[in-house]
Amino acid sequence: MNHIFTNQYIAGFALALLSSWLLTGLMRKIALAIDITDKPDGERKSQREPVPYLGGLGIMLSLLLTILIGVSFQNVTPETRTDIIFLILPATILGLVGLWDDIKNLTPHFRLMIQVIMGLAGSLTITFGSTSGSATGNDTLDLLLSIFWIVGITNAINFFDNIDGGAAVASFMTAMGTLVYGLLTNQPYIAGFSVILAGSLVGFFIWNRRPARIYMGDAGSLFLGTLLASITIRINPETDTKLSSLALPILFLALPILDTSVVVINRLVRGISPLQGGQDHLSHRLALKGLRHRYILYFFAIVAAVFQLPVFASLYLNDTQELIAIFLAGTLFVIAFLFFSRLPIVNARK
């Protein structure tokens, strides 16, 4: 890799990390001053003291600031500038909706409506723009699939924000995966975005690791979910098979997808709304089995990395071997789903 690009990636990561660390600390002070906090309730919210929100705003501002500085110092084409705007804008709007929710507690149905609208906006720029190919060969199907993907992943990251550092670790693993894939396949646009996002997440994690001194809130989880969903389907897959192409974004985000699948399907089986909160996520189930907090995060990082292995292996496999790797990954997902579904939860009603 060109050493100039290497230095740029290192500088982008460092600037994003530093700005995220500083801005998250500032957001913590602001949240405490105006009482935007998550207060313990003795049930789902088991922390001892109120924990400020607005950490997601620190992530968002850090990423936007770093990208703005990077674009200012780089010879970026007008087309790339447009692509950057279309990638950031839906995520930023949803992040602001999440911030509104952190302050006012919006209804789940209203949030879902906004997510669908922003998913449509993001999908239109992807399906009819110049940033990706066609997943199905049909523009209408591509549009519907993209909307479903963006809304689904946005909620999956939101669901995964249920343990100190959990959503940050899951998002970081995806960002690192897309960074490495972008570097290996000569997609600097994807790699640059990913390295900045990874730096912003590390800066936030310093404040969010247990015991968390600030939460990302819905502002962070909705922003990250939309951004990660958009990045993963803007990647140009280096494969000739349709199945591998469709599997690539799923494997990059397999961990939050697994968590959401376990929670949603098990709640539906029990006759409970998937939109309500509860202590039935992967982290809660592992904690009940006695796994300590730090090891839960280590476990999540390993699971995310294992599911990404077929993505990188596909760069060196023939078509038949690719399909076998995808089949094995799908089989592993089913096994993991069945394993976690059988683990106990705190309260069968939640």
**pLDDT confidence bin for 349, thresholds 50/70/90:** very low
What is the residue-averaged pLDDT of the chain? 85
Residue 49 confidence (pLDDT) above 90:
no
Per-residue pLDDT tens over the stretch 137-174: 666 777 788 888 888 898 899 889 889 999 999 999 99
**pLDDT confidence bin for 67, thresholds 50/70/90:** very high
Taking each helix axis from N to C terminus, what angle separates 217-234 and 55-73, rounded to the nearest 10 degrees? 40
Taking each helix axis from N to C terminus, what angle separates 55-73 and 78-104, rounded to the nearest 10 degrees? 170
Looking at residue 40, its pLDDT comes to 64
311-338: average pLDDT: 92
Residue 16 confidence (pLDDT) above 60:
yes
- Three state DSSP letters for the chain: CCHHHHHHHHHHHHHHHHHHHHHHHHHHHHHHHCCCEECCCCCCCCCCCCEECCHHHHHHHHHHHHHHHHHHHCCCCHHHHHHHHHHHHHHHHHHHHHHHHHHHCCCHHHHHHHHHHHHHHHHHHHHCCCCCCCCCCCHHHHHHHHHHHHHHHHHHHHHHCCCCCHHHHHHHHHHHHHHHHHHHCCCHHHHHHHHHHHHHHHHHHHHHCCCCCCCCHHHHHHHHHHHHHHHHHHCCCCCCCHHHHHHHHHHHCHHHHHHHHHHHHHHHHCCCCCCCCCCCCHHHHHHHCCCCHHHHHHHHHHHHHHHHHHHHHHHHCCHHHHHHHHHHHHHHHHHHHHHHHCCCCCCCCC
Looking at residue 134, its pLDDT comes to 57
Residue 348 confidence (pLDDT) above 50:
no
3-26: average pLDDT: 88
CB 209 within 8 A of CB 21: no
79 against 326, higher pLDDT: 326
Q: Global pTM? A: 0.89
Provide long-range contacts, Cβ within 8 A and 24+ apart, for 70-78.
70/8, 70/12, 70/192, 70/196, 74/8
169 token code pair: 């670790």
User: Which range is least confidently modeled, 28-42, 198-212, 310-324?
Assistant: 28-42
Neighbours of 244 (CB within 10 A): 21
Looking at residue 126, its pLDDT comes to 63
Looking at residue 350, its pLDDT comes to 34
Residue 303 confidence (pLDDT) above 50:
yes
**pLDDT confidence bin for 42, thresholds 50/70/90:** low
Say how far apart CA 106 and CA 117 lie, in whole Å.
16
Q: Name residues whose C-beta falls within 8 Å of residue 116's C-beta, 6 or more positions apart in sequence.
A: 147, 151
Residue 105 confidence (pLDDT) above 70:
yes
Q: Name residues whose C-beta falls within 8 Å of residue 135's C-beta, 6 or more positions apart in sequence.
A: 141, 142, 145, 146, 233, 242, 245, 246
* Cis before 211 (ω within 30): yes
116-140: average pLDDT: 64
Taking each helix axis from N to C terminus, what angle separates 293-313 and 319-341, rounded to the nearest 10 degrees? 160
Ranked by mean pLDDT, the top range of 122-126, 162-166, 194-198, 270-274 is: 194-198
Looking at residue 83, its pLDDT comes to 77
Residue 74 confidence (pLDDT) above 80:
no
The fraction of the chain above a pLDDT of 90, given in percent, is: 45
Looking at residue 241, its pLDDT comes to 76
Looking at residue 171, its pLDDT comes to 96
